[in-house]
Structure 1
Amino acid sequence: MEYGLYGDRSHAFLDETRPGKFLTITQCPEMVKYKARFLGEELLEHYPPLEITTPDGKVYFWEDAELQHRIEQMSNRKVSLVKYPPTHVPFGAIEEEHVQFVTDASLEKMQELWGKMSDARRFRPNFLFTLYEKIPFIEDNWLGKILKIGEVELEVKRHCERCMIITVDPEDASRDSTLLKTVVKERNNYFGVYATVIKPGEVEVGQQVFLIES
């Protein structure tokens, strides 16, 4: 889509204790353990049902009042639910461009620098690219260039500057500030890059990605 992957940032919790702000795992790390997925065909007219699975295996749909109640209890905040149309989704709480991606070589190098295994989900990329030549942080050289994935074209715009979100383990919501400290020390707080959608279309897992000049 012109705003990024279909449905990305489409459903959100508004934090009524901070008017106009979203509730994220920055305020409520336990949210990272909730899993959401669409059930059915992705249509432009409307979203398929959105299913949310809790850490204890309870399944809700987006409109369920009990889901809102659980989030309010967990976060100790009053929240309201917002859903944007499939054809127009604004930026979320922290995004600066349409999509964010990291490479496998950079992820492996960061694990080496950190001294611990790092789940790619900590960095919340829209795309994880597997490189033929395993050159860590090669994406630094892609700024201003175009990535082509099938019919889709993305312009690489800027580095992704990191925040506390990467310190939250996606499995158990435990916190480890040493990862962010490592990214600050070794990478000037940059890891991954942002890109803007130039030409929308469909992409599939396993497709080749081509780098071309702008």
Structure 2
Amino acid sequence: MVDTFAARVWSLHAYPIKGCAGTEVDKLAISAYGPAHDREFLIIRPDGKFLTQREFPRMALIEPSLDGLAEGKLRLTAPGHDDLMVTFTTDGPQRLATVWKWTGTGVDQGDEVASWFSDFLGTEVRLVRFPPDMTRNTTVGGGQVRYADGYPILVTSTASLDALNAQLDEALPMDRFRPNVVVDGWRRPWTEDQVVDLPIGEVRLEIVKPCARCVVTTVDQRTAEKGREPLRTLGRTRRTEAGLIFGQNAVVRTPGTVRVADRVC
């Protein structure tokens, strides 16, 4: 039996630019594509291949602000760099954009922001935005997604993080796993592995695939330094045919707004 005793939303997170720092918020408007503006922007090489913290851990230090997105503006901050306010566009030139095996396009956001990112990361890049008329389907579950690895929502729980941290010499924060929705109140760790239908407030999610973790989880999201955990411990305790599992990918069945402290049924 799935344990959902007194479960509620503990925290909510969005990541406007794939691979860059996330923002914790009190509420998230969720569409079929996931949280509003989540992974709506992508940093790409000139050939269209996306950048990640695997090769560029400094991406974790780039902080996009959600504050101006409703007005069409994106504020960027990074250590040692002047802040940049970008007025983003939906009708600029389109460039090839590749995320793993998927290839689509992205609307180029101009030379100024491209130069800002290129200077900070030390390599030539462009920033593109997910075109409003483009559709990208999930491999499993019949959902839709923007530039995330494969699914629009990642669900984790505080109970599972506590269980993992009990096995580590030094506890890790949840931001290592870059979730969208963190559930608190499940008495047993790994309850998210057993759930399929997941109503949260007015939204309904369906969990469709375990999240196999990669070396990005070893990057300290506050300093960009790399370590060995949690992959070393996950390799001992959470190894499956799907990989080293922490968290579950979900698709959106009923859109709406999710708030911190919403009941998770």
Higher relative contact order (CA 8 A, sep 6+): 2
Match of 2:128 among 76, 82, 94: 82
Q: How far did residue 57 of structure 1 move?
A: 6.8
Structure 1 residues 205 and 186: alpha-carbon distance in aligned structure 2, compared to 1, 3 A threshold: same
Percent same amino acid at aligned positions?
29
Contact 1:9 1:89 in 2 (8 A): no
Distance in structure 2 (CA, Å) of the matches to 1:175 and 1:122:
11
SS at 2:230 equivalent:
helix
Decide which of 170, 186, 202 is 2:237's aligned counterpart.
186
Helix, strand or coil at the partner of 1:113: coil
Question: Which structure has greater strand proportion?
Answer: 2
Partner of residue 214, structure 2: 163
For the residues of structure 1 that align with 2:118 and 2:111, how far apart are their CA atoms?
Answer: 11
Kindly provide the CA deviation profile for residues 143-196 of structure 1, in whole angstroms up to 9, marking residues without a partner as x.
xx2111122110011110000100000110010123212112210110000001
Which residue matches 2:33? Answer: 3
Output the amino acid matched with 1:25.
Q
Count of paired positions: 201
1:17-32 → structure 2 map (5 Å cutoff): 19-32=47-60
Return closer, same or farther for 1:50/1:70 CA change in 2, 3 Å cut-off: closer
Higher helix share: 1
2:114 corresponds to: 68
TM-score norm. by structure 1 comes to: 0.84
Counterpart in 1 of 2:93?
none
Change (3 A) 1:79 1:102: same
Q: Which residue of 1 aligns with 2:106?
A: none
Whether the 8 Å CA contact 1:152–1:201 is kept in 2: the answer is yes
Could you list the per-position Cα deviations for residues 82-139 of structure 1 after superposition, in whole angstroms to 9, with x for gaps in the alignment?
A: 01246867446662221001100101111111221211111000111112x4311111
Distance 1:10 1:88 in 2: 12
Q: Secondary structure at the match of 1:62?
A: strand
Q: 58-67 or 193-202, which moves further after superposition? A: 58-67
Is the 2:65–2:74 Cα contact (8 Å) retained in structure 1?
yes
The match for 1:201 among 242, 256, 262 is 256
Distance in 1 (alpha carbons) for counterparts of 2:236 and 2:132: 39
Aligned pair in 2 of structure 1 residues 156, 162: CA closer, same or farther (>3 Å)? same
Moved more, 116-125 or 89-98: 89-98
> Runs of 5+ in structure 2 lacking a partner?
1-30, 88-109, 137-144
Letter in 1 for 2:260: V
Shift of 1:79: 0.9
